[in-house]
Structure 1
């Protein structure tokens, strides 16, 4: 599929997300809408998708080109911890796989409100550990990446793996990560994709009976020291922009190597549209390239 004009895609996405991410929309209905919309996001040539499981959860192992890869990325999808699926993120995972030359494992972690915190975090930790124990990878051969809520979950999982298991992932790839769901200091009520009425409701659903200051829920409030090299992308017009800026400042203050890019013309997780928007494809190539370089030394 040829690239489409960015303004045209943005206009149509804005209308779609106003419907799908309406605060009164029941989660099961919103999930079906997002899955239906994902058919426009195509796969690169040479993509192979293999269904499997990790820690009892459904997973898709996505590769582009060679199917046997010595390195891997555990990918955690976005959707406010209440939405998102293997279908919504299959195309993005494939573009990351192509750019990183790694096998990308997209995890179907448990969603709220049916399964509040810490279900998603437990699933992410257990999936990463199973890649090491059952699939023969070393920790320096497996990065973690995710977008929005999945970006926050990636950061929380990386921290928990260090603190609970003494395991440090090879790298982190964070696309507009939602790192403090309990915060109520958004700079405005909505951007092209996210509106605060929906996101605040999703945050409450994910928290359940938990503590909003728990760094597993809000990793921005946790310790950044010792985390692996990290790449962070965010659009400057996003609701989450201030959170992400604070995260990058905290990572750098803790001595974590950070590659940080701001996008003034891209919307929240525009990377999902890498198959149809040139600028989004470029962003995914940058992120995947970073992850691939972090894994390069362990390919042999």
Structure 2
């Protein structure tokens, strides 16, 4: 890391809560929310030795991220959160660069299309196309893990379902940070989540649904078939509005026969991983995620990073 400053969870809550309350505000237009969330990433110091390259993947912009040496032919497709309405590779660099270091693998962070301009299933289509292009570049499906946070966690599950059912491809592993697997369920403000609020979540869910069906597994993968999914880590903190949804989803995965691990992050706030360069608790969560993904990736030697 490039900074010796470290934050406790209580101190980080006081620092970041105003930024999230400002940016994730249902009264602001999505374009403004996006600019504010990207700006909040400036609070996070850069990870040392990070290399970020602007690339194209599946017809969409993406960032290829690496930190130090990586295992040849292993990669992680990362799908950022933001309610399907906001978020970008830029807003999540504190997380993605820390995860690249923890996993010892390169990451492709996809800039998938956002609602309301592009409702479901645009994001799913983009993520599926990105994975398929990695395969055409020579990556074995078992050398590609998929990870995502919040909406990106739900998108990870939806994408994997399409890959298995429609393309016969199974990623090596899934890493889900506070996955939003059923946006149709209205959340209630619990007084302890410093990031997400119920009004913004409901608005984002409606924008992402558009004219779609709330039972569509691409929109609400928690309502769909979970059998055959790869080994999955589900991480969630106790103050989060999504605590119940995420823990219940882990139970559903287990009942479906999936190799699932539930990571209880204690008091860590929603996707606090983005502050890993500053927070020991967040860094530990990223290390757990990186270890899970790395243990399931196989090594191949034919992949091209062009």
| TM-score using structure 2 length | 0.94
In 2 relative to 1, CA 98–234 (structure 1 residues): closer, same or farther, beyond 3 Å?
same
The match for 1:170 is: 172
Q: Which sits farther off after the overlay, 58-67 or 172-181? A: 58-67
Give the whole-Å Cα distance in 2 for the aligned partners of 1:188 and 1:281: 25
Alignment correspondent of 1:128: 131
Structure 2 SS opposite 1:88: coil
User: RMSD across aligned C-alpha pairs, in angstroms?
Assistant: 1.4
Q: 1:44 aligns with which of 44, 47, 50?
A: 47
Mapped to 1, the partners of 2:223 and 2:7 lie a distance apart of 39
Superposed displacement of residue 187, structure 1: 6.8
> What corresponds to 1:261 in structure 2?
263
TM-score (norm 1): 0.96
1:222 matched residue in structure 2: 224
Aligned residues: 298
CA distance in 1, matches of 2:54, 2:190: 40
**Matched-pair contact (CA < 8 Å) for 1:69–1:101:** no
Deviations 1:165-188 (A, max 9, x none): 110010000000000000125473
3-state DSSP class of the match of 2:134?
helix
Partner of 1:82: 85
For residues 128 and 42 of structure 1, the distance between their equivalents in structure 2, rounded to whole angstroms, comes to 30
In the alignment, structure 2 segments of 5+ residues that lack a partner are: 302-306
Query: Equivalent residues in 2 for 1:57-206 (5 A)?
Result: 57-66=60-69, 69-133=72-136, 135-184=137-186, 186=188, 188=190, 191-206=193-208
Query: 1:43·1:95 contact (CA, 8 Å) conserved in 2?
Result: no
Distance 1:99 1:5 in 2: 21
**In structure 2, what is the Cα distance between the partners aligned to 1:197 and 1:158?**
29
Superimposed CA distance per residue, residues 182-216 of structure 1 (whole angstroms, 9 cap, x where no aligned partner): 01254737711100100000000000000001111
In structure 1, which of residues 280, 283, 286 is the aligned counterpart of residue 285 of structure 2? 283
**Which residue does 2:299 correspond to in 1?**
298
Is the CA contact (8 Å cut-off) linking 1:146 and 1:174 kept in structure 2?
Answer: yes
| TM-aligned CA deviation for residue 112 of structure 1 | 0.4
Q: 2:7 is matched with which residue: 4, 8, 19? A: 4
Aligned ranges for residues 8-27 of structure 1 at < 5 Å? 8-27=11-30
Of the structure 1 ranges 55-64 and 65-74, higher mean CA displacement relative to structure 2 is found in: 65-74
- What is residue 212 of structure 1 aligned with on the other side? 214
